[in-house]
A = this chain, B = another copy of it.
Amino acid sequence: MTNSTQKSEAPERVRDRLDANLTHPFLDADGDKLREECGVFGAINAADASAATALGLHALQHRGQEAVGITSFDGREFYSRRGLGHVAENFSSSEAIGELPGHMAAGHVRYSTTGGSGLRNVQPLYAELASGGFAVAHNGNFSNSQALRSDLVNKGSIFQSTSDTEVIIHLVATSRYPTIADRLIDALRLVEGAYALIVMTPEGMIACRDPLGIRPLVMGRMGDAILFASESVAFDVVGAELIREVEPGEMLQVGFDGEIRSVRPFGSPKARPCIFEHVYFSRPDSYFAGRSVYEARKAIGTQLAIEAPADVDLVVPVPDSGVPAAIGYAQQSGLPFELGIIRSHYVGRTFIQPSDSARHSGVKRKHNANRGLVAGKRIVLIDDSIVRGTTSMKIVEMMREAGASEVHFRVASPPTAHSCFYGVDTPERSKLLAARMELEPMREFIKADSLAFISIDGLYRAVGQKDRDKACPQFCDACFTGEYPTSLTDFRMTEQRAAQLPFADPKAA
């Protein structure tokens, strides 16, 4: 309920720790990547539900590194534990797991984005309703949460967090339907946007995915236990098997008797899962939308080599996210794949620079040129995407300083020119390089000898479609095309965001 709580436990220590931990292969410490905001995991009818949840979240750590929470239910009571930092920092001790007894548990990893950094916003959110406890873990974002929140407050609801997930809880609490499942459907009918939800009540677990299936959610099995997770890799790590994806618009109810009921309260709109899961968000060892992510990325690299070949000596991935596409590019083009950039896994954001030092030491702390390899060579760099372009520019320059004679740049996604409103952390539109300039100015900005992006149709082909269905695309690709699959109520109502309004955008027009 507090507006701005500053917990008095040494906040700078936490920040230091976070810096020291921004070491994963998918996160750019300079913020020059899009960031998936959340990962969720749930387990019911499992002997060690919270241990499985901790391990599953650990495998989803790349989807949210700043905070983590787990809630469990032992048949009588709910138990919660939350913390800032990584899963391993918070849930690897037997004491921590021991505080979370029971055969049902769900957890959440997240970045602290608009909701602010307090523990209040760490999920699962929990409330005592008249019907009993209600816990929810949510991956996604509602595009009308401000409007709904405002209505609820006017009627006397008191919000404790700034998370849009809390809207669901208040809608459920004030719904007049008799059962929890009906109250939840009643609530979800009012929301617009993207969600993959795991809900726990005293009757069992409910998992559901928005009608367009924008955010991912899969179902698995481990003995008698039923599991849900954002990505299939979480099942590998706990030793479970993948059953199938939760379907877009599907609501699955799993009881303590093991029965699984599937309902589709929102009809059957055509699905549009987020294509960026294939490009960058998911781990390469996950399956998404029926395909191996690694194979999809290699296929994108292959397609990119066909669309935009380069006359060079070496194919060099920008590590680690550019590696699968670079392997595909190298195999297709017959050029040698080489580690021309070495990535350090120790990253800290705020080192003081010695004044004599050369420029771009920041990027060098993370990426260092493999000088012995690239000196005198023509190279093509393969990266998954360009967001602001600042890191790309530094990397090109670093390769030149290391002696590369030509530096070409190929990008395994189309230009990222639009913000996401469905649970992905994007910079303001005005900071997206592709929203600011055309191809040739982009090439000049990053100082490459040549620059090419995969085409939108090429991308669809690489992920197994014949072509992009222009009337009704098979994926959500709004970040590339500006074609948002839902209305954006809050966005339209926000005057101060008018400058970013996608519909006023001449390029999108």
By a beta-carbon cutoff of 8 Å, the part of chain A in contact with chain B is: 1-10, 13, 16-17, 19-21, 23-25, 46-49, 51-52, 54-55, 58-59, 61-62, 71, 77-94, 96-97, 99, 119, 125-130, 133, 153-161, 166, 169-170, 173-174, 222-225, 233, 236-240, 283-285, 287, 291-292, 294-295, 323-324, 327, 331, 336-339, 342, 344-359, 361, 364-365, 368-373
Contacts and interface: CB of A to CB of B under 8 A. Distances in A.
A335 B355 CA distance: 47
Of the listed residues A20, A158, A342, the one surrounded by the most CB atoms of chain B closer than 10 A to its CB is A158
Name which of A54, A59, A236, A368 has the most chain B CB atoms within 10 A of its CB: A236
A91 B1 CA distance: 21
A61 B351 contact: no
Nearest to A92: B348
B356 A225 contact: yes
A354 B225 CA distance: 11
B372 A292 contact: yes
B154 A130 contact: yes
Given A88-B348, A158-B128, A233 B368 contact: yes
A243 to B, nearest CB: 15
Residue with the highest number of chain B CB atoms closer than 10 Å, among A222, A238, A370: A370
A96 B173 CA distance: 37
A166 B237 CA distance: 43
A344 B59 contact: yes
A350 B59 contact: no
A156 to B, nearest CB: 4
Contacts of A238: 354, 357-358, 361
Contact of A351 (B51, B71, B291, B368): B51
A173 B158 contact: yes
A23 B89 CA distance: 13
Given A47-B355, A82-B8, A371 B236 contact: yes
Nearest to A285: B342
Closest 8 CB pairs of A and B: A88-B348, A292-B372, A239-B358, A8-B83, A156-B174, A239-B357, A52-B354, A48-B354
Contacts of A85: 20
Contact of A88 (B20, B90, B159): B20
Given A156-B173, A336-B331, A356-B239, A3 B287 contact: no
Contacts of A338: 327
